[in-house]
Structure 1
Amino acid sequence: MELSVTISPSGDINKNIFKLKPPRKDGLLLNIHHSKPNNKIRFIHTAFHDRGHVLASADNEGNFYIVDFHTCKYWGLPKLDSCTFLRFSAYRPDELLCGRNNGDVYVVHYESGTVTGTLCGHKSPVKDATFGGKSGCLTTSQYEAIVWSLETNTKIQVLNLEKNNALKHVVFIPKSNYTLACFQDDLIQVWDNTDFDCIKQFLPINWKNYSVKSIAFTKNGQIMVVAGYLPTLVIFSLDHWKLLKIVNLPEHIHTVKHVEFVQRPFDGGCNRILAILSGQGMIYFYNVEENAITSQLTTQYEVSKFSLCPNGSYVACVLCSGDVELYCLSNYVECITEDEPCERKVYVKAKRCAKKIGHVKEQISEILEINKLKAILAEFGTYPEAHRTKIWEKLLKLPNNIQQYNSIINHVTVVAFQDLKQKYPLENKLLMKSLKKLLNNLTTWNSFFAIVDYMPIFVFPFIKVFNNKPVACFEAICTIICNWCQHFFEYHPLAPVNILAMIENILLEHDPMLLHHYSLHKVTAHIYAWPLLESAFSEVLTASEWLQLWDHILTYEVSFFHCVVVAYNIVQRHILLSFRRTEDFVLFFYNQNPVNMKRLLKVTFRILEETSKDNHPREFLTDFKGLDIGNYPLFTEYPKSVVEYQLEEERKIDEELESIVISRAELDNFNKEENKEKAIRQEQEKRVRGTYSIVRL
C-alpha cells in the first residue's frame, strides 16, 4: 500500500490512521512518499525502533515522520531544518537522535516531537551513532568522535585526530568493551574503552588496499566483515583477532556501498545472513557459512540506503526516487526455529526454490522494471533471445508513434544512398529493402543523414533485431542517435574530435603504456576509437557478441558506450602492443578479432566506476532521454553549413544538368530547323531545275 505524508506548516502533531494490507508477492508492504510530488523533497534517512514496530524517516529539508505498525498510525514531527543521520536511542526507547548540519545532535521524543536534549561538541556534521553499555553513545563526524552519557547528555571522551587525518567509521563493537575506528587511509584500530589503549590494528593490505566502504558486526560481536569499494568481503574473527577468509562476490556485483548483518530469531546472535547493497542499487542476501548469494531484492528504482529491522522482520529501502519502501524480510530470508523438524526445513527450502523460479519467470514475462532487467542481465550475461526485442523497446522507452511514422513514410522526398546496393551488397533482399526504407525515413526526419556515409553500417545490425517492426526500428535508431551519438556530427564530415579526445584522456588514465605505444607509431584515436564508434562495434564483434554488448549498452548509462571503446583497446592490448605498422592497426579495428566478452564487460564496468570526474564521459554527456509520445524531436546537432553547402552544391549540379539538357534540346531543335531549311532549299532547287527544263522543252 501507499502512504502519503504531508508537511505540516504549523508543526502540530496529527496522528493519522492507516490500514496495513498484506504484502505483495515481492514482499513490498508499504510505500512512503510525499503527498505533493516534488523532486526537491526526498527522503534520505530511515531508522527502526529496537522493538521493530516503529519506523522513523527524514527528508532532505528536515521533516520527520513516524510510522507505527502496531497501532497503524503515522505522524509528522516539527521540522528541524536539517538531518545528517537518524537513530533511535538505546537508552531511552521513546527518544530519537537526529544530527544537524552545524554538528549538534538533537534528542527528540518521537511521540510528541519535543526536543529533550542536545549533544553539543562536534565541529562538523555527525554521520552516525552507536550505543554501548548502560547509557553510552558514540557519535562520529569526519574529524572527531565523541562518547556521551545519554543519562546526562554530557561528554565522556573525545577522540582527537592528528592533523590532516579524517575518520570513515567509528563504532562500539557489540557485546564488548572495545571501540573500533577506520581512518581515511583505511587503517583500522581497536582500543579498550577502559583505558583507551590501542589493542589491535588491521592493515589495509588485508583487503588488498581497497577503499573501505562499510563495516558490519554480528550481534554477538564475534565476527566482523569489512567491505571495500570493489566487490570483496574480508571476514575477521574478533575472538582471536585473525583473518578468517576473503570472499570475492559474483562478477555481476561490481561495487559495494553498504553491508549489514540480518538479525534472525533463534540464531543466538551468530548472524549468518549479510545484506549487501551494491553500487547498482540492489540488495543481495549473502550466507556467510555457505558462501553463497541466497536471494536478492530489486526495486523499481535503485536503492540508495537501507535499514534492517532489529527483530529481522522488515527492511526499509530509501530509493533514488526519494520514496521509502518497506519490505517483509521473510520473502528473502527464511526464519526457521531450532525446534522445527527437518521435514519443515526441507519444505521451506523447496518453497524457496519454487519462489525463485517463479520470480525469474515473472521478471522475464513482465519485462517492466529496469532493476529487474539489470538483475536478469547480471545473472545470465545477456538477455534471452526470445524476449530481446521487447526488452530493448522497454529500455529505449519507444513511444510507438504510428501516426507520426506514417506521416514520415508518406513524405519521403529524397532517396538516400542510391548506390547502397553496390556498396553493401546483401543476399537477403528483404533486409536490403528494410535498410533502404530505414535510411530514407531517417533522411526525411533530417536531410543531414543523407550525407553521413557510415550510417548504413551503424544502423544495419539493429534492423536484424527489430525485424518486421519498422516503427520500433526507426524509433530505436532515432533514440540511439539522440543519446548514444551525442556530439558525433558536430564536425562532420570529420570525425568528432571532442569525443575522440575524451576517449584518449580515459585511455591515458587507465593504460598510459598502451597510449604511449600508439603515440610512438602515430596511431590516433581516429584509428583506435572512431571505427568502433561509427560501426557501433558491428565490424569487430560476432553477431552474438554484438547483441550481448548492446544488451549492456542500452541497460546502463549512456557513457557505457564510450567506456567500452577504451575497454576494448585494453583487453586487446597484448596484440596491439606487438604492432608496428599503421596499416596493421587500421586493419585490426575494421575486422573481427577474438575477444573475451566477460573480461571486456568487466573492464568496462571498472572504467565506468573508477574514471576520475574530470575525464568521465558523463560529465560531457546528457542523461538518457526517450522520444516524446506524439511527436519526433527536431534533431539539430550537426553543422548546418555542411548541409546547406551540400544542398547548394546539389542545386548547382541540378541547375547545370538542367542547363545542359536545355542546351541539348535547343541544339537538337536548331539542327532540326537547319535540316528542315536545307531540305526546303533542296526541294526548291529541284523545282527550279525542273521548271527550267520544262521551259527549254
Structure 2
Amino acid sequence: DHRGSIFLFNFRDNKYQFITNCSQACTCLVFGLKSRPLNEIYVGLVDNSLRSFDLASNQWLSIMRGHTSSIRTISVHDNGDIAVTSTVNSAIIWNLLSWTRLRQLNVNQSIGITQVFFQNNYIVSCFRDDSIFMWDYESLECKLKLPAVVEGREPIYRSLSCSCDGRLLIAAGKSRFMDIWNLDTGTLRQTIELPKPIIGVRKVLFLEPNKIDSDGQETLLAVLGEDRRLRLIQMSTCRLLVEFNTDCPCTEITDPLVLTMTTGSKRADKLAVISATNGSLHLYDLGAIWREANRPELPIRRIWKKPIGMPVINLQPVPSEQAISNQIKENNTEDYSTVALSQKISDNKIGKQRGNFGKSVFCASRAETKNEGTPSSLLDRKKLRAILKEYGSFPSKYRPFIWRGLMQLPGNVSVLTSLLEKGIHQSWDLLTQKYPIKSQKLTRCLQRVLSALAFWSPLFAECDFLPLLAFPFVKVFQNNHLLAFEMVATILVNWCKDWFEFFPNPPINILCIVENLLAHHDRELYQHLVDHGVTTEIYAWPIMETVFSEVLTKDEWLALWDNLICRHPGFMLICVVAYSLCAKSPIMRVTEIEEIESFYRHQNCITTSDILQRAFAIDCITPDEIHPSKLLTKFEPLSQGQYPLFQKYPKFIVDFQIKERERIREEEKEYL
C-alpha cells in the first residue's frame, strides 16, 4: 500500500498475514519464479529500486537499482529467471538468479513507455505514440511491429494484454475503442466499441476458457472503464455478460487483477480480485459468473394474494411526458414547484458529455407542492447521488428545484418580507464600491440578501467575507429573493455554523480539523508547508470563505456544490484537503509564501472530478477520531414560520464593533 506495508492473502485457507513494511510506498508488486513454488516477491518502490523478498525466511534478498524514475510495471518470464521492469523513460531486463542488470532500453522523455511485459519467449513493448513491438528476449531482435490502426490518430493506448496462447493482443486506453491484433499475421483482427457512457479504458485483461468453466471456445475480456466499473465481455459476440459496481462511491473498483498464479489449486485460477479505494478486496468467482450468464431463463410466474386487512390504494395515472412539458411551458419558469423530471432527461455534464438519467427521480403535481410547500419529500437522495455518480452534476434546468428540495427551504415569505422592509443595512451601503458587479439586478439582489442577513443576526453586519460567500448562491437564485436568502442562511447555519467562535479571527477549531486531515493523508506535503511557514489560514481559509468560487469555474463550482449539498456538511472540509492533495506537485516546487497565497486565490488546472475522486477516497479511509462527519453536527434545515436564532459567536466583540462603527459614523457627520 501507500505506506509500504505488504500483506499476503491465502484464498484457499481464507487467511491473510502481514509480511513486512518497506518504509516507503510501493509502486508495483509481483510474484516471482512462476514455474516453481512461490517463495519470492519483487517490489518496486518510490526510490526507483527493485527489491526481492523471500517469503520463507521473511528477509530481503537483494536491491536492484538502475532506474531514474519510479517503476510502473514488473513482468517475470515463465522460467522465473528473468524479469523486465519499465518506467516512463526506460526498461531494464534483470537476471533474477544473480540479481544483475542484463540490458537497458532508454527512451526519449517525449516518447515515453506505456507498458512492457513478457509473452512466452517474446517481450512486448508499447510506447506512448501507440507503436507496438515484439522482441526476442534472448537476442533482442525485433520480430514484429504492428502497423497503426488509423494514420494520424491521436495516441490512445495505455493498457495491453495477450491471450494465454500468445496469438491475440488487445490494446485499449483513452477512447471507447479496443483493438484486437492477430500476432501470427501482425494484422488487426477486430475493433470493439464500448457503449457511449464509457469514455476510456483503464485496464483490460484476457480471461481464458479454463478459468471460467466454458466449453473451451469462449474467451472473455475484463474491461475496467473510466467510470470505474468492471465489465466482462464475450469477445466473439461482443456481448456484455456482467457489470461490477456498488452504490457507495468509496467502494468503486479501481484496479482489477485476475489471479492465475497465487496457489496451485484450480479454485484460485477462477478468482477475480478487485481492490477498492477504501482498501477492501472484492473476490468474484468467474466460473459462477459464466454459468449465471449462460443459464437459460426460467418462465416467470407471479402469484399475488391480498393480505388480510391490507388497505386498498387507488393508483393515480402518471401524466405523459408531453403533458408535463406543456404544464411547464404554461407556468412561470421561476415556479420550481411545478417542475417534474421525465424518464429521459439529458443535460450537459462535466467534460461536455450527454446521456440519459434512466428512471424518473421525482414527479410532483401542482396540488401536491401547494400542500407540502417544499419539494423535499419528492426527492430521493439515493437516486440523486446515482445521477451525480454517473454524470457529475445535476441538469442546469432543474438545479434550483433540486437544491431547494435537498436544503428543505421553508419558504417563510412573511418573515423575509419584514426583514426586507427595513431597507438596506448601513453596513452594506457601499457594497457596490468594494465589489463592483456589472449586472444591476444581481447587485440589488445581493445587497438586499446581505441586508436581510444583517437584520436577522448582528454578526452578519460585521462579517467581511460574507459577500464572497453569498455571491455564487445569490447568483443561482437571483430571480427569487426568498430562495436566495434562505439558501445562504442554510449554508451559514450548517456548513459555517462553527466558523464564528473566534470571530473576527479565522475559525481555528475548523482549521485544525483540516490540518489534521492533511497531516494524516499526506505527511510529505504537510511537512513541506510547515517548513515554509504556510498555515491553514493560507491554504485552507481562502477556499473556505469563498466556498471554492475563486478557484473553480462556474460549471465546476456548480458541479462541486451539487455533490456537497447531497452529503454531510463536513464533506466540504474533506474537499478542501482534496484540493491541496490534487495540487501537490506544483505546491512542492513553491517555497515563497506569496506564491502559495496567490495559488489559493486563483483558478488552477484542477477539476471538480479530480477533487471529488480524491475526496471520496479520503472520506472512506479517514479514522473516526479526525473525521469531520464525527466532529461536526448533522444537517438541520431552517425552521418553518420563524428562522432560528444565530448566536454562536462572541457577542461582546460584535457589540463592540457595532458601537465603534456608530461612533466613527457620528464623528464623520460632525466633521461634515
Give the TM-score, by structure 2 length.
0.49
Larger radius of gyration: 1
Give the TM-score, by structure 1 length.
0.48
Q: Name which structure has the greater RCO, CA cutoff 8 Å, separation 6+.
A: 1
